[in-house]
Chain A
């Protein structure tokens, strides 16, 4: 019945226009548009990836091996089951420019050795334009061809026609690689691409047993291939031989994962924006209902029940929410559709323009739930007060808590919102923590707003404030009755908290990577040192005066396939330890950078069944313990060892560390190479690289400084994307600020009129208004800095396992930014009160 009564009243009330709801609409619109926009771009990229899956994968399906090429049996299977197959071998190596000259130089590269069938799908673009076959072929001079990424060509200062060397094999640089159909983000690794014919590497000395390389066998299949059946057949035939399968059902898992993770994170930033918008929604509803006090009182005095009043205004808010959400969807779904063609030019992934209903629906649900959650509270309070109380001119009314059914409704809706966000994001636990973080930040800010008001009230009455009327007036109005202070601290504070957290994490990560690490990190990681080279290599390095220390360890790679006889992925899911091949070493003694946490180290001459030491942290994460059996596929063979002990490791100083250390008797007979870290004084890198190039041409040296620069560049791009997301949150916060300032404008007009009557000049009133905005903004900034820093500390400490220290630069920017943002919003509304004559205001106010 309430609804029947409420509908016509709500319709009539809405005829009054949307004047009081601009902030409400803008907050919803911005939040929904941001989330819909992020979702649409993600969907467009996913659609693009699916459409180009075979090209991105390089075939309809792919068999993938580590450390080895396919066996005869595997090649026969390929020949029998495919129309055509292509072998691609990838590994890291040093490309040597100007070999045998004094100016020789080395550049780390990601080598891709291909056969004549490559590429099965798509085409490679070279500069100068030529077919790949021509570019890689051997010419009359006998040297085979090589093509390289322009970044490497620039860096080494070489040009087309120059002779370069990989290992002991010389090549002629024929062209630069402009576009590679199957080059994905995950393939870029630590060096730019170099491409050669596989056959040309036969004499390079690079692909010896134990060398770190991967081989991929891409397949061209007939139309509509039965991929699941083919995968099942291959996996059952080659079980336990280290074969991994990928096919065009998920052609670019690396890119998909990056896009998924980044967009999930951005959606969470978007949800923080929605929460800020929610504060604006709540403030707008409260202000609207305050203006409707007389109407509500009148309706109640004529017999409208609490339910009718609630339904009347909920219907209005619902209608306006639909409008705000609809506009948000239009912008969020529409703008990416317009921008995607431009994005396609920038992003190295295919993008398919279109309207995608799923992300729009997701954004709409978030928007409507947020509007409801933040509207019900003020609505429930307004309908709960008696007509007599409403008729009385008492400010600060309706401060009580709503009745419990409304509180439960708000909690249920909030839980539903969090549950749906967990479902939609695909990273439920991270989303849950983010939601807890947002709620904690809101609670902290609400508490901070209360404390700020109490402190302002106390300060306003302090003896030291006497004789400073402008400041006392500012403090008095912050601490006095009214909602402006709470709205400002909540909205600006939450926006700034997100920005402060991102700023602190970003700066701390950069400091860790670019300053802390180089102080402690080695100058080089050196891979692929053969058994017979290791002693000479160590001696050659130590002979150079710049070298302080050389650490070495045997190195194999393997994939954990089973835990206690059960498929590892079934046991621990997608944890990184089981998601790909990992470095494995063996040692008779406890490695230098480790401490034993549990169990016993094996005797130096141990010769029993294989034993293993496992990293304690990772063991806890995947739930394995001493006595468990781990099976790893190493060089195509499944090998099992029992966990004998757990170690604590330090990864942060980039010293040699392995999650798994085996007892020597298990692995030392297997073909393997050595990994070394070379610690040297800065500036000696070039000389050391030249020594390595001349005396050990097969090894791969990764300069840590280069790696750090690459990681920094990645952080730059991720940081830019995240800062854009945070900027949307801040923009919503600013809209709420403007809303709060607009809501307080009438009160300021009156205040200014009375103060003028009492003898205050316009300058003094303006100063008081400005101080009020500055103090509130700075308070919001300060609280945001505290909350953001706590969040950043938690991320650095528990996610990144790195040191946290407060970055003062971004901190000061946050506090000043908060003060300035509120000052701008406040002063925008300060002039009209000053311009009006007191009589105009006071005459009309009874």
Chain B
């Protein structure tokens, strides 16, 4: 085994609530190997999404260390974390989180542009065709269905060919048929580009498609 792509060591997260500090994650230690797919499951409020946010550097841990591709997140400031995500990560959210003032094509091209890719738009167009949206490139998110929006989000996450794909309940806002299509696309992309995948999901059958399932309960590994 090589060096893990993602390494979490005794990671803690405590957020400030109205009634005082609320412990969300209580000492998680976990290694994810290159190319591996992990299904992160657990009941609502168990801390799955928070853990994913920490893995993406979108949130700072209040204790422990997180290392991705050998880079300790604690040593990176916000902009450096953004650049790290730009170069190595793709993230898919439950609520798609497309920028409403951009067309589908512009949404997908944005991370490539941020990385200075001169062929950003050509690659974005190809990526949209890959997810079956070649004819909707000029549509704004408000003109697309939920399934179509999530496909744009997938294309956006995959376009820069990230080393790590993080997906936070990507089918949570979709009906089961659309959800299945999205998951197929997600695994397809991951298989084709060989990325490491961390998938947060409620559904055990989705988790079962991953190499390994990790269950969280009350902020700790079950």
Contact = CB atoms under 8 A, between A and B. Distances in A.
Given A476-B106, A759-B114, A481 B142 contact: yes
Given A481-B100, A842-B93, A758 B49 contact: no
B120 interface: yes
Contacts of B58: 756-757, 837-839, 842
A763 B95 CA distance: 26
B14 interface: no
9 contacts: A394-B142, A472-B106, A479-B101, A751-B101, A755-B99, A759-B111, A837-B58, A838-B58, A843-B53
- Interface-centre pick from B60, B78, B82, B101 (highest chain A CB count, 10 A): B101
A480 to B, nearest CB: 3
A845 B106 CA distance: 22
A754 interface: yes
State the 10 A-B residue pairs at the shortest beta-carbon distance, nearest first: A759-B86, A480-B101, A839-B59, A469-B113, A761-B79, A839-B58, A839-B53, A477-B101, A758-B111, A838-B58
A467 B101 contact: no
A396 B102 contact: no
A755 B110 contact: yes
Interface string A756-792: 1111111110000000000000000000000000000
Interface in B162-188: 173
Contacts of A394: 142
Contact of A466 (B85, B103, B120): B120
Interface string B41-65: 0000000011001001011100000
A105 B14 CA distance: 90
B118 interface: yes
Nearest to B94: A846
Given A481-B100, A481-B140, A747-B100, 5 more contacts: A466-B118, A482-B100, A758-B114, A759-B114, A846-B95
A758 to B, nearest CB: 4
A460 interface: yes
A521 to B, nearest CB: 58
Contacts of A842: 53, 58, 93, 95, 97
B99 A756 contact: no
Nearest to B90: A758
B140 A761 contact: no
Contacts of B118: 466-467
Interface of A: 394-396, 460-461, 466-469, 472-473, 476-477, 479-482, 747, 750-751, 753-764, 837-840, 842-843, 845-846
B180 to A, nearest CB: 21
A842 B111 CA distance: 17
Interface string B178-213: 000000000000000000000000000000000000
B128 interface: no
B116 interface: yes
A334 to B, nearest CB: 42
Contacts, number: 114
B79 A762 contact: yes
B22 interface: no
Nearest to B91: A757
B87 interface: yes
Nearest to B160: A759
A758 B95 contact: no
Contact of A480 (B53, B87, B102, B111): B102
Interface of A is mostly: helix
A303 B120 CA distance: 51
Contacts of B87: 759
Nearest to A482: B101
A839 B47 CA distance: 13
A754 B85 contact: no
Contacts of A747: 100-101
A329 to B, nearest CB: 40
Nearest to A480: B101
B3 interface: no
Contacts of B50: 839, 843
A747 to B, nearest CB: 7
A484 B123 CA distance: 31
Contacts of A469: 110, 113-114
A395 B114 contact: no
Contacts of A837: 58-60, 78
B156 interface: yes
B115 interface: yes
Tier of interface size on chain B: 35 or more
B113 A466 contact: yes
B116 A759 contact: no
A758 B83 CA distance: 8
Interface in B26-54: 49-50, 53
- Interface-centre pick from B78, B82, B86 (highest chain A CB count, 10 A): B82
A763 B156 CA distance: 22
Given A466-B120, A759-B115, A843-B53, A481 B101 contact: yes
A481 B142 CA distance: 9
B59 A760 contact: no
A161 B177 CA distance: 108
B99 A751 contact: yes
Nearest to B83: A759
Contacts of A479: 101
B110 A761 contact: no
- Interface-centre pick from A479, A756, A763, A764 (highest chain B CB count, 10 A): A756
Contacts of A473: 102, 110
Contacts of A480: 100-102, 140
Contacts of B114: 469, 755, 758-760, 764
Contact of A762 (B56, B78, B121): B78
Nearest to A759: B86
B47 to A, nearest CB: 12
B53 A758 contact: no
A845 B53 CA distance: 14
A744 to B, nearest CB: 10
B106 A460 contact: yes
Contacts of B141: 395
B111 A754 contact: no
Contacts of B113: 466-469, 472
Given A481-B142, A758-B85, A476 B120 contact: no
Nearest to A468: B113
Given A466-B118, A759-B86, A839-B59, A845 B97 contact: yes
A322 to B, nearest CB: 36
A225 B114 CA distance: 87
B116 A845 contact: no
Nearest to A751: B99
B189 to A, nearest CB: 17
Contacts of B49: 843
- Interface-centre pick from B84, B99, B156 (highest chain A CB count, 10 A): B99
Contacts of B53: 839, 842-843
Contacts of B116: 467
A145 to B, nearest CB: 80
B85 A757 contact: yes
Nearest to B52: A839
Contacts of A466: 109, 113, 118, 120-121
Interface in B67-99: 78-79, 82-87, 91, 93-95, 97-99
A842 B156 CA distance: 17
B101 A845 contact: no
Contacts of A760: 82, 86, 114
A395 B142 contact: yes
- Interface-centre pick from A473, A482, A757 (highest chain B CB count, 10 A): A757
Contact of A758 (B60, B101, B110, B121): B110
A460 B109 CA distance: 12
A481 B97 CA distance: 16
Nearest to B121: A466
A399 to B, nearest CB: 11
A666 B18 CA distance: 99
Interface in B112-140: 113-116, 118, 120-121, 140
B100 A395 contact: yes
A115 to B, nearest CB: 80
